């Protein structure tokens, strides 16, 4: 297995377990690279990459940009808030205009599910999905898998609980696909109103009691409550959510074994997890961020190598 | 297809590696200011072999104690290649757990062919610091096939070959025997 089966990274659902393993093993090499005194390699010096962010992002955007720069690619950035999108330009027109400036790869975040798939069918460039609505966020799932593998040795047979707002979360969906392809058992936990109706058809366990979910799992991935997507009330109050589904130190310490705590960021401190949990030694939240750069370098490197 | 021609059998292989070690000792004395870096994937076998042999010659007591007095690492050059989009390449591990700043570095590879791997190796090495001096050691030098102005200082054996021929270096560690053959494919 030396190359990916796909020309774009649109979602974890479309790629194979071999693809995921190839990306993760290449990321190990890049993790070593980004810990060198000189963190830059010349692999993509002839490639131009456009980062199109139609939705706000700090971590993913910075992480992609750093990954691109450490591979020596030329980078152009685009944020919809300061662009002609506001004047009514369509997505294809915007992207084709950017491609006319000879761009080889596009990293895109968009509020609409399927935007990346749509783009890949209409423009000639390699597309990397950096999050499309509530659909997928493949690089987040890959870096989560990388972080778990790094800490626990392997993913096969491990039990992972994804806790929180499953309904609005692209991270949850990509994580479920990724972890299942690698042979893990996945449980989702959250209030009934934030649970998609057909979630169990994906082969995941569903639990509504946080204590039980945490007792079962080896790793807890605490998702962010997406306050911006709660157009109707899904739970009575944040306070109630925190009491039922928030992870605090007392609960963490009461568990029979030491579990790993993950969070894709940005953290609502005191809502889904408390500050002392986020900063404790079982939390690998900052390692996830470091691994994010290495994993994104691997994705860019492998896709650029595909003819 | 021609029958493979043996360039080095296991006995001559051993003699050649030993000779290279003595040549190194002539220049580098006790190796206190010198480090060895083998290029991945197959130059590392030669590098570690030389490290072991040098330790046996210079300080046999440390061999018994299981210690290596000579720094030796492996360097992967995949991300520095000029042809990675023409063929699929899998990176290997890089392990350089010592300082190369102001040291004499001996870059080690099994076969010197076009010189492109060494060019990438030099670039990759500079990411770890600025060495005082860099020398190249190879087991086999295919002297008529160079694309770049790169020469080795220490050479196991020089051969004249054409581009369509292939030099195969086998290592006891993974192939079961030490042998170098030339095949026409």
List, as one string, the DSSP characters of A36-68. SSS----TTTT-EEEEEESS--SHHHHHHHHHH
pLDDT tens digit string along A160-218?
999 999 998 999 999 999 999 999 999 999 999 999 988 999 999 999 999 999 999 99
Nearest by Cα to A261 from A214, A205, A195, A206: A214
Using 50, 70 and 90 to split pLDDT, how confident is the model at A232? low
Q: Which of A225-229, B96-100, B171-175 shows the lowest mean pLDDT across its residues?
A: A225-229
Nearest to A145 by CA among A155, A158, A134, A157: A155
* B127 with A38: Cβ contact below 8 A: yes
Return the pLDDT at A123.
Answer: 86
Burial class (CB within 10 angstroms; exposed 0-12, middle 13-18, buried 19+) of B164? exposed
User: Over pLDDT 90: what percentage of chain A?
Assistant: 72
ipTM above 0.90, yes or no: no
pLDDT digits (tens, 9 = 90+) for B80-136: 988 777 777 788 888 888 889 999 999 999 999 999 999 999 999 998 889 999 999
For residue A187, what are its two tokens? 């449980």
pTM above 0.80, yes or no: yes
Angle subtended by helix axes A170-181 and A17-33, to nearest 10: 100
The reported pLDDT for the residue numbered B162 is 86
Q: What is the pLDDT of residue A235?
A: 83
**Contacts of residue A104, Cβ cutoff 8 Å, sequence gap at least 6:** A47, A48, A49, A125, A126, A304
Q: Exposed, middle or buried: residue B29 (CB in 10 Å: 0-12, 13-18, 19+)?
A: exposed
- Contact A2/B89, CB-based, under 8 Å? yes
Chain A and chain B share a number of CB contacts under 8 A equal to: 49
What pLDDT is attached to residue B1?
Answer: 60
8-state DSSP, A209: -
**pLDDT tier at B144 (50, 70, 90 boundaries)?**
confident
- Listed by number, the residues of chain A in 19-58 with a beta carbon closer than 8 Å to a beta carbon of chain B are 26, 28-29, 32-33, 36-43
Helix-strand-coil split of chain B, %, nearest 5? 30, 30, 40
Q: Strand, helix or coil at A32?
A: helix
The separation between CA B172 and the C-alpha centre of its own chain, rounded to angstroms, equals: 15
| Mean pLDDT calculated for residue range A248-276 | 93
Question: What is the per-residue pLDDT for A231?
Answer: 60
The pLDDT of residue A226: 79
A85: pLDDT confidence band, cut at 50, 70 and 90? low
Q: Which of A8-17, A261-270, B78-87, B169-178 has the lowest mean pLDDT?
A: B78-87
Q: Verify whether the Cβ–Cβ distance A29 to B93 is below 8 Å.
A: yes
B145 neighbors B114 (Cβ within 8 angstroms)? yes
| A36: nearest CA partner in chain B | B128
Whole-angstrom distance, CA of residue A306 vs CA of residue B91: 15
Beta pairing partners, A247: A273
Residues of B in contact with A294 (CB under 8 A): none
Q: What is the per-residue pLDDT for B74?
A: 94
């Amino acid at each position: 297995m030396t190359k990916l089966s796909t020309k774009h990274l649109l979602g974890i659902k479309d790629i194979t377990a071999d693809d995921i393993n190839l990306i993760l093993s290449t990321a190990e090499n890049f993790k070593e690279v980004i810990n060198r005194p000189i963190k830059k390699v010349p692999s993509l010096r002839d490639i131009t990459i456009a980062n199109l962010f139609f939705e706000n992002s700090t971590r993913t955007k910075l992480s992609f940009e750093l990954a691109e720069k450490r591979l020596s690619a030329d980078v152009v950035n685009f944020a919809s808030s300061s662009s002609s999108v506001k004047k009514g330009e369509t997505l294809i027109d915007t992207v084709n205009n950017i491609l006319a400036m000879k761009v080889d790869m596009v990293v895109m975040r968009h509020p609409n599910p399927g935007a990346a798939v749509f783009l890949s069918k209409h423009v000639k460039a390699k597309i990397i999905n950096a999050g499309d609505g509530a659909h997928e966020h493949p690089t987040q799932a890959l870096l989560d898998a990388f972080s778990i593998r790094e800490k626990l040795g392997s993913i096969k047979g491990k039990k992972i609980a994804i806790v929180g707002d499953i309904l609005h979360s692209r991270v949850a969906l990509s994580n479920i696909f990724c972890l299942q392809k690698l042979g893990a058992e996945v449980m989702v936990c959250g209030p009934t109103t934030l649970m998609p109706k057909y979630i169990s058809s994906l082969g995941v366990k569903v639990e509504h009691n946080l204590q039980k979910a945490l007792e079962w799992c080896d790793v807890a991935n605490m998702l962010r409550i997406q306050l911006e997507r709660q157009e109707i009330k899904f739970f009575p109050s944040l306070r109630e959510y925190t009491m039922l589904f928030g992870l605090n130190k007392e609960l963490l310490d009461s568990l029979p074994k030491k579990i790993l705590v993950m969070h894709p960021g940005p953290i609502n401190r005191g809502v889904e997890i408390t500050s002392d949990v986020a900063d404790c030694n079982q939390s690998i939240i900052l390692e996830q961020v470091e691994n994010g750069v290495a994993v994104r370098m691997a994705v860019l490197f492998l896709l650029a190598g595909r003819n | 297809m021609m029958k493979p021609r043996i360039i080095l059998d296991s006995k001559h292989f051993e003699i050649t590696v030993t000779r290279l070690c003595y040549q190194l000792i002539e220049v580098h004395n006790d190796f206190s200011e010198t480090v060895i870096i083998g290029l991945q994937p197959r130059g590392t076998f030669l590098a570690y072999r030389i490290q072991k042999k040098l330790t046996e010659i210079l300080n046999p007591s440390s061999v018994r104690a299981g210690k290596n007095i000579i720094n030796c690492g492996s360097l992967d050059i995949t991300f520095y290649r000029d042809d990675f989009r023409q063929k699929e390449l899998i990176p290997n591990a890089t392990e350089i757990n010592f300082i190369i700043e102001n040291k004499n570095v001996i870059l080690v590879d099994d076969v010197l062919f076009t010189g492109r791997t060494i060019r990438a190796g030099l670039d990759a090495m500079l990411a770890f610091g600025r060495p005082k001096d860099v020398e190249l050691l190879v087991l086999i030098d295919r002297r008529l096939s160079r694309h770049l102005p790169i020469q080795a200082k220490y050479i196991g054996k020089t051969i004249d070959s054409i581009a369509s021929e292939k030099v195969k270096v086998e290592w006891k560690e993974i192939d079961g025997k030490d042998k170098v053959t030339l095949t026409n494919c």
